[in-house]
Amino acid sequence: MLTTFLCFTGVDMIPERLRGYIGDRAFYRRLMHIALPIMLQNGITNFVSLLDNIMVGAVGTEQMTGVSIVGQLLFVYNLCIFGGLSGPGIFTSQYYGRSDLEGVRNTFRFKLWLAVALFVGGTGIFLAAGNPLIGLYLHTGGETGDIALTAQYGSTYLQVMLWGLLPFAIQQVYSTTLRETGETVLPMKAGIIAILVNLCLNYILIFGHFGAPALGCVGAAIATVISRYVECLIVVIWAHTHKRNVPYMDGLYSKLTVPINLTRQICAKGLPLLVNEALWSSGMAAVTQCYSTFGLAVVAALNIATTVSNLFSVVWMALGVSVSIIVGQQLGANAFDEAKASVRKIMLFSITASIVVAAIVILLSPLFPELYNTTEEVKKLAVGFLCISMACSPIHSFANAAYFTIRSGGRTWITFAFDSLYLWVLRVPIVRLLIAFTSLPIMIIFIISNLIDLSKCVLGYILLKRGSWVRNIVESL
């Protein structure tokens, strides 16, 4: 990539106006030390999700579509866990940056209580309203799919997947804390092992190999649940048997209470992140629900395109997470100028990477839908959705890096407005209005929906330039 090339050819060869945006070798080594394990783990996870998708799709479009609809619902739960843990995670990074191990322990305890609460709430909602939620995505249109059969497969898949919600939540508590304190390799290894378990069990249980029954999408759900327990056990056992590597694990459960002052601070900074991720993920689910009114073919095609684009979006997504870790630690150490410089360098690197990856995927886009056993209508739609998504990835890359930068300084109410409020106030209403009051085809609506994020980039640039995110939020605790 351009930034990497400039870095390794020497500072003297970099134009003066670009030197503030290009790091030295040490900077990129540190960035890659954090980002590569995240990229690798998420990349492998998304690659196996692609294989899962292909294997489920091989037994029928209805099963694939039912699984994808449930995936939208579980996406909301997963993002609530992510958002809920991100709030205390801001404090974890800054506490670790100032070598305050007891502070790290307290943020971990807060995470644990919150994860259990979200698990109980999420399970209750899915048990009470799972089938009606699935029904929101089932509409006639096009020539593809059986609505009743899709609903049946989706309901059965959801019932099994509920057993994996708790290990996912616990594993996230441990893995996020490890990453925020610089231990990114172990979560990556645990994720890879879990993925391999998932992949092997998918092959056995979906198609009925080695004497096992052919369970289709139910087999895929069982495989996923088992792999989540495997990943959770690996992370938890390693953390408690390697206290020399992670010293804050020593005495972690000597108490479960969290200081009231810290609890107030985390709630003040973290509640907007939880609400943000809940509203953002439900907003994205709402946008997909709008698209679903064009028929099951659109739902199936979006599933294919989203699964493929997620595989290649791990580059800029991981770099966004790296911003929060690197900049969070620098802010905790009062290295404010260094934090500002890191943001500029990581952001340029992220945008450059997204452009390169997008160009490659667009060139190969006609090949991916051919991996699925589905109709030509679905394949054609999938290619269009994939090309549009990847062409807009530089926009999403900038917005993602801006979001994590602002969040690293504890400006969580701003990130709430920047992310989910923007989605519900602009994107969801515009898509609904376009569908309800125009006869535009789905592809044009999908393009407009993605380009709305340009306004988000403008807002992100303004917020970054103002610099209100540059502050140490743990110094006074």
pLDDT band at 23 (very low <50, low <70, confident <90, very high): low
* Residue 20 confidence (pLDDT): 62
Whether the per-residue pLDDT at 338 is higher than 60: the answer is yes
Position 221 scores a pLDDT of 92
Q: What is the pLDDT of residue 458?
A: 86
Note the pLDDT of residue 365: 92
Res 5 pLDDT > 60:
no
| DSSP letters spanning 291-305 | HHTT-HHHHHHHHHH
Nearest to 134 by CA among 146, 118, 150, 115: 150
**In terms of DSSP H, where are the helices of 293-392?**
296-312, 314-332, 336-364, 376-391
Quickly list DSSP for 259-277.
-HHHHHHHHHHHHHHHHHH
- How far apart CA 59 and CA 216 sit, in angstroms, is 7
Instruction: Provide Rg for the chain, Cα atoms.
Output: 22
For 207-256, the pLDDT digits (tens) are 999 989 999 989 999 999 999 999 999 999 999 998 888 888 888 888 88
pTM: 0.74
What is the percent of the chain where pLDDT is above 90?
30
Do 163 and 12 contact (CB within 8 A), yes or no?
A: no
- Give pLDDT tens digits for 424-462: 988 999 999 999 999 999 999 999 999 988 888 888 888
Least confident piece of the model among 153-162, 166-175, 212-221, 308-317: 308-317
Mean pLDDT of the chain: 84
- pLDDT band at 165, cuts 50/70/90? very high
pLDDT at 270 over 80: no
Poorest-pLDDT segment among 90-99, 287-296, 412-421: 412-421
Residue 1: pLDDT band by 50, 70, 90 thresholds?
very low
Q: What is the pLDDT of residues 349-376, one digit of tens each?
A: 888 889 999 999 999 999 988 888 788 8
With 80 as the cut, is the pLDDT of residue 333 above it? no
Which contacts (CB < 8 Å, 24+ apart) does range 236-240 have? 236/170, 236/171, 236/174, 238/186, 238/190, 239/174, 239/178, 239/186
Residue 3 has pLDDT above 50, yes or no: no
Distance between CA atoms of 350 and 428, rounded to whole angstroms? 27
